[in-house]
Structure 1
Amino acid sequence: KSRDGFFTTFFISPYSRYIARWCARRGLTPNQVTTASLLTALIAAGCAATGTRAGFVAAGVLLIASFVLDCTDGQLARYALKYSTLGAWLDATFDRAKEYAYYAGLALGAARGGDDVWALALGAMILQTCRHVVDFSFNEANHDATANTSPTAALSDKLDSVGWTVWVRRMIVLPIGERWAMIAVLTAVTTPRITFYVLLAGCAFAATYTTAGRVLRSVTRKAIRTDRAAQALADLADNGPLASYVARATRVRLGAPLLVALAGTAVLAVSLFSGVTWAPVAGAAVYAVTAGQALYRPLKGALDWLLPPLFRAAEYGTVLVLAVHADVNGALPAAFGLVAAVAYHHYDTVYRIRGNAGAPPAWLVRAIGGHEGRTLLVTVLAAVLTASQFKAALTVLAVAVALLVLVESIRFWVSAGAPAVHDEGEPA
């Protein structure tokens, strides 16, 4: 595709197209290839979980093989003209499932060798998910904006006219091809801990670069955002019944949405590191109030697209910090499962909006509490339960959320006619 990264364009696509032709001649469908890519990645995660050097080498090779198949399914669909809503959804969601399952495999493998890297694995998943939400929110906010120009965008266009800068800018944001290649090589030749350190550093740099570019574009352009864009951002925010009640009941408006949300998130962050048992509960309550206040008017401000990634970072970060505090009894793997389930819900929301199908049904958002409800619930559980009980509670919560969102998501995508659009974003 035109937006593919350097590794995909020059190291995968020239060869995967021959595999696509081979598959077409044998009557294989894109969905079958997509499923094969998922199974290959899961086997790679299983190899990494063995904790042996041979297992790590095999995991790296299989992860690259999974990515080759991931490229092949799209080429096969274009070659054979076989497109489907289900196929687009599978391709969009399986990439996330493959990568995050691989993180879990690396953490399990490290644990077999006596090294606990679950916090790093969860941190990597949180960072990667928040990066995607930045891309999604920015693109949705400017999907149909008018007067969509800025000096930053003009500079970007000028850089695009210099061939080598295009590839450098695509590589430094660590798109899926470069990212998986880096993970595969590091898995094979180093340790899971080093792999996660490099991954976190690389993704942190990429996130800083892309977010800074998008912020500059937002503050230097004079764009008029539409009601559709404002509604998309509100849906991506994932406010639950508690925040919605606050938005309706509160008569006093505290200020600009982003500033209010930042203040609430700052209070939550301070409370998590205060060392006082019930402080996170109070911080989460303040956070819930500010989340409701932040959406009291349409999100048409220049930087209002930052609200969804801010809420994702706050919710996921709360689970990470509290699980680290309780990890004497292994709460982090349960926390990993909970964040993975919630992240799936947020990705599913994105793909529905991109397919012009609207947000998930209101009953589902209410049933799983919204971001502020889950944050408050997790802080209360951490305050009233022992470490072992907290681990069990996180596990139950993860299973409950996963079942609800998966059943509804599968029902929707199997029956819907909306296209699932998968794109990791573009360079800043």
Structure 2
Amino acid sequence: MEADKKWDLASVASIPLIMTLGNSMLIPVLPAIRTRLGITSLQVSLLITVYSAVAILLIPIAGYLSDRYGRKAVIIPSLIAAGLGGLVSGLASWWIDEPYAMILAGRVLQGIGAAGAAPIVLPLIGDLFKREKDVSQGLGIVETSNTLGKVLSPILGSFLASFLWYLPFLFIPVFCVISILMVLFLVKSPEKEPGKPVKLKSFLASVRYIFTEKGRWLYAIFAIGGICMFVIFGTLFYLSDELEAVYGIKGVLKGVVLAIPLAALCVSSFFTGRKIGQNKILMKWLTFIGTAVLTGAVFACGFLVHSVPWIIALLCISGLGMGLVLPSLDAFITEGIDKKQRGTITSLYSSMRFIGVAIGPPAVSILLNVSKHAMFYTVSGACLFAAIIAMFAIHPNKGALKSDKSKGRKKMRIRIGS
């Protein structure tokens, strides 16, 4: 990897880490918030869902703006908005007797910021590095950073809430300021390609053409990414509630237990990102194997609903499987799209991941009203669907690497599922 880009990469990787902390820190605190505010399980799950729902709507707009005006021009204001959202939620919890509505409002503002921060990281990595090998490694580090945020979130969230239940909200702006300073001063914006900015009508036509030519594999990757996030946030929501309600495990200890499956995901993502390089065949099979492992592990949880230790072990296995999938999807979606449309397409992919985040907790809450068995079997069915489309909708072409001499370097021409 280019030595002069290491600080750029570290700064960019701070964005998904901090955005994940800002959202996932709440997972272990949700039962305490529900008790403190006297609200239902579905209402408390909306603190996750409303954040994601707003981001889903705005991510494509942020992607287009980043393609037109530059990545940093979108990322910096978005981080500011995310920090202000956390501040609103935290101060409302501190000052207002019935703060639920204002907490939701703060989460909406935080979701607006999230739309223009973490999703723009993928195209920015593609812009920063010239060699495709470096792009793959950079994406692996970013996905690892994202997962590391999920590992630290339950521990840090539980620790902060042990002092004040709303303290996780107030730490969000602190994290955002750190990331803003790193991106502002350490990330060198890539040079823009010469030429006038593409008009919106022409840009939309080019995006439509991309989906016409590459829609089969793009839709498959969108769906798999969304399912993976659905599984992560749905199972964590279940496990957080189960540990506290049934086993009386609270605070930092609960955070440590929740972090165990996520640590497996983090380690797997790191090594997958280093291994895949430009090998599209390997990416396809890692995606299929990972989703197949995920399916089996979640399905097995349905037989062991009364044994939390076994469920944690199986979720660790599912984390290893998911760690094979996510960096492969990131590489496919970033390296398979031309730089001019990369921000928009990767943002649509991020929207699908946010849909999974938004649906996970409330869907699991509703399914648990039927039974724990129904919840795990339904989730494993979604994983099986992901494995099927990974097998049949993603078809890398072995001759995909061609030379583009007009730009003075080799450029990836991906024909997947065509």
Q: Which has the larger radius of gyration?
A: 1
Question: Which has the bigger relative contact order, CA under 8 A and spacing at least 6?
Answer: 2
For Structure 1 versus Structure 2, the TM-score category normalised by the shorter chain is 0.3 to 0.5
TM-score, normalising length from structure 1? Answer: 0.41
